[in-house]
Amino acid sequence: MSSLIRSTAAELAAKIAGREVSAVEVAQAHLDRIAEVDGAVNAFLHVDTEGALAAAKKVDDDLAAGQAPASPLAGVPLALKDVFATEGVPTTCGSKILEGWVPPYDATVTRRLREAGVVILGKTNMDEFAMGSSTENSAYGPTRNPWDLDRIPGGSGGGSSASLAAFQAPLAIGTDTGGSIRQPGAVTGTVGVKPTYGGVSRYGLVAFSSSLDQGGPCARTVLDAALLHEVIGGHDPLDSTSINAPVPPVVAAAREGANGDLTGVKVGVVTQFSGDGYQAGVLRSFEAAVAQLKQLGAEIVEVSCPSFDYALPAYYLIAPSEASSNLARFDAMRYGLRVGDDSTRSAEEVMSLTREAGFGPEVKRRIMIGTYALSSGYYDAYYGSAQKVRTLITRDFEKAFASVDVLVSPTTPTTAFRIGERANDPIAMYKADLCTIPANLAGTPAMSVPSGLSDEDGLPVGLQIMAPALQEHRMYRVAAAYEAARGTVYQDVPELAVAR
Amino acid sequence: MPSISRDEVAHLARLARLAVTDDELDLFAGQLDVILQSVATVGDIATADIPPTSHAVPLTNVFREDVVRPSLGQQQALAGAPAAEDGRFRVPRILGEEA
């Protein structure tokens, strides 16, 4: 395996800027790796070979002309979740209803990546419209976990995280509505960060649940995630919910944390995230992680957040409600699929036939749940109550953060399950997001960092670190210290047995 | 007693413009019932004195500078259209025969 594809983004950026290696060579090494292994992994829905090589050449040309690098990640390749609009490059959101759609504009995240000289290799597979925890809901087939090709890579951003674990890209972008960055990170042994709501622009992001959706960085190391966070974060006038404040100093925090000293940091262990439904090996990994944080000087206290027990049901009312409204835009009139337009049927009939043919079962389930929860007569009992639970969860976070700097928990209750194992049981599937959802409901930042392999099945486990709004630097510091002490796990992924 | 009947699911599908099949109705009616019973637990702690939260970031009246900036041209806007005619979106009939 080429050493280029095993390098971190920080290493690659330094080599490219120092002209030890060209951005074109780096891009080509990753494109070769994609060609070699993606038949087995299915992390990519579209590979933009031409666009990637052109972007890489521009970085090389600018450096040759004596210009300074456009950013600390100039020339580094990246895998972009197929939920972000990319001008001239297909964007499907994992759905048949958008098959073949080529956006006429770039999302703000896409534009910022391009301006930073980041080389976009292609678009990654995902659960349809980001609804799912396994990437099995993609209309284009599941992505497979590089640690065990019979297992799920998490979801909805399974393609992004799998591409990192398979060394197809050193960086990726995901979106996290209920855990879709963090849970895939946990089960693939990679780092995933959900920024504060409003910290990364949603302009050009296909909307699922607008009050929860948040784009964020995925990487193999904490520092790489921080470098990417600073490239994509910050205020955007095109997104009215974008926070008008500087990006928290996450790169400095990751560097500071790497010295391994957490003296004076108060870490709260959320007592609700334990017990029934948690795999023993995941809990043992979590306990070892907490012990490690203590060894690094952190003060550990137990924190009770009783309303977190109601986060999952609240989420599965709020997100489908917003989705049922957001997905009304797929009406077969202006873009996307149109089915049954035989010049006799009405627009309404064509709309219904198109949505029936274009949406998969999970999307239909959520649209109907949301339609139900918003109906008059049920609104107060369902959507209204869920919004009150959201208030209680926010209060629990506020109370907890009055006494601790960060909160920790397992990222997800189990390691990667087998493909097909939960496909016919929506409730079992939803439970993968048990620990990640509270941060979405409260709008606070949270991340997953690898905490080794479960002792019972040898699969990756994630440690979730949560911080107050706009205090991302706290969690990056803790994550970097923990990573420095325990080491990364991505280097131990088995070499993929794929035909050359 | 189920919290949602097969007929109610058929009604929801019509409201949501989903031409679901009979097989799907059977599948979804059972699944939606399980999901709705499971999420109804939010009512256990949602008492009248708690204000609802619709959004994590309380923002009102966000403005930006009112300046002219480039927008999509007609051709770009129509580029993804399932059908277009004379520079416009062509859609199926929207009124009934009797109208």
What is the pTM for the complete model shown? 0.97
H or E element, residue A448: strand A446-453
Which residue out of A365, A388, A431 would a mutagenesis test of the B interface target, given it has the greatest number of B Cβ atoms within 10 Å?
A388
Asked whether residue B15 carries a pLDDT value surpassing 50, the answer given is yes
Instruction: Evaluate whether A386 touches B18 at the Cβ level (below 8 Å).
Output: no
Decide the pairing of beta strands A119-124 and A77-81: parallel
A42: left (phi over 0), alpha (psi -120 to 50) or beta: left
Q: Do B80 and A335 touch (CB under 8 A)?
A: yes
Cβ-Cβ contacts under 8 Å, B41 against chain A: 310, 313
Q: B23 CB contacts (<8 Å, ≥6 apart)?
A: none
In this predicted structure, what is the pLDDT of residue B1?
53
Among 1.10.20, 2.40.128, 3.30.1660, 1.10.3470, name the CATH number for the domain at B6-42: 1.10.20
Q: Do A387 and B92 touch (CB under 8 A)?
A: no
Inter-CA distances, A235 with A243, A441, A467, A469, Å: 6, 21, 20, 15
Cβ-Cβ contacts under 8 Å, A317 against chain B: 39, 42
> Residue A2: is the preceding peptide bond cis (ω within 30°)?
no
Touching check for B72 and chain A: CB below 8 Å? yes
What is the residue type of A236? D
- Give the whole-angstrom CA distance, residue A492 versus residue A129: 32
Q: Do A388 and B51 touch (CB under 8 A)?
A: yes
Cβ-Cβ contacts under 8 Å, B76 against chain A: 104
Cβ-Cβ contacts under 8 Å, B27 against chain A: 361
Q: Do B13 and A368 touch (CB under 8 A)?
A: yes
Inter-CA distances, A229 with A23, A109, A196, A253, A372, Å: 21, 11, 11, 12, 37
Burial A189-215, CB ≥16 within 10 A → b, else e = bbbbbbbbbbbbbbbbbbbbbbbbbbb
In this predicted structure, what is the pLDDT of residue B65?
84
Sheet strand arrangement including A44-47: A44-47, A119-124, A77-81, A171-175, A215-219, A191-194, A446-453, A460-466, A406-410, A266-270, A299-303
Helix, coil or strand: residue A151: strand
Q: ipTM of this model? A: 0.94
User: Would you place residue B61 in the very low, low, confident or very high pLDDT band (cuts 50, 70, 90)?
Assistant: confident
Tell how far CA A137 is from the center of its chain: 16
Q: Which residues 6-25 of B have a C-beta within 8 angstroms of A? A: 8-9, 12-21, 24
Radius of gyration, alpha carbons of chain B: 23
Please confirm, yes or no, whether A209 is among the known catalytic residues. no
Cβ-Cβ contacts under 8 Å, B4 against chain A: 372
Q: Which residue of B has its CA nearest to A237?
A: B64
Nearest to A26, CA basis, from A36, A39, A16, A37: A16
Please confirm, yes or no, whether A156 is among the known catalytic residues. yes
Instruction: Evaluate whether A365 touches B35 at the Cβ level (below 8 Å).
Output: yes
Q: Which two tokens stand for residue A69?
A: 């690098």
Nearest-Cα distance to chain A for B69, in Å, is: 12
Instruction: Evaluate whether A314 touches B53 at the Cβ level (below 8 Å).
Output: no
In this predicted structure, what is the pLDDT of residue A423?
87
Q: Which two tokens stand for residue A170?
A: 């050193």
- Give the whole-angstrom CA distance, residue A479 versus residue A485: 10
Q: Which residue of B has its CA nearest to A438?
A: B56
The single residue listed with the structure tokens 């009770």 is A304
E strands of A323-430, at which residues?
406-410
Q: Do B53 and A351 touch (CB under 8 A)?
A: no
Instruction: Evaluate whether A172 touches A124 at the Cβ level (below 8 Å).
Output: yes
Q: Which two tokens stand for residue A171?
A: 């960086």
In this predicted structure, what is the pLDDT of residue A500?
43
Q: pLDDT tens per residue, chain A (500 residues)?
A: 579 999 999 999 999 999 999 999 999 999 999 999 999 999 999 999 999 999 999 999 999 999 999 999 999 999 999 999 999 999 999 999 999 999 999 999 999 999 999 999 999 999 999 999 999 999 999 999 999 999 999 999 999 999 999 999 999 999 999 999 999 999 999 999 999 999 999 999 999 999 999 999 999 999 999 999 999 999 999 999 999 999 999 999 999 999 999 999 999 999 999 988 999 999 999 999 999 999 999 999 999 999 999 999 999 999 999 999 999 999 999 999 999 999 999 999 999 999 999 999 999 999 999 999 999 889 999 999 999 999 999 999 999 999 999 999 999 999 999 999 998 898 899 999 999 999 999 999 999 999 999 999 999 999 999 999 999 999 999 999 999 999 999 999 998 866 44
Q: Do B56 and A316 touch (CB under 8 A)?
A: no
Dihedral angle sign, alpha carbons of residues A231, A233, A234, A237: positive
* Set A7, A22, A133, A156: catalytic member: A156
The single residue listed with the structure tokens 């953060």 is A401
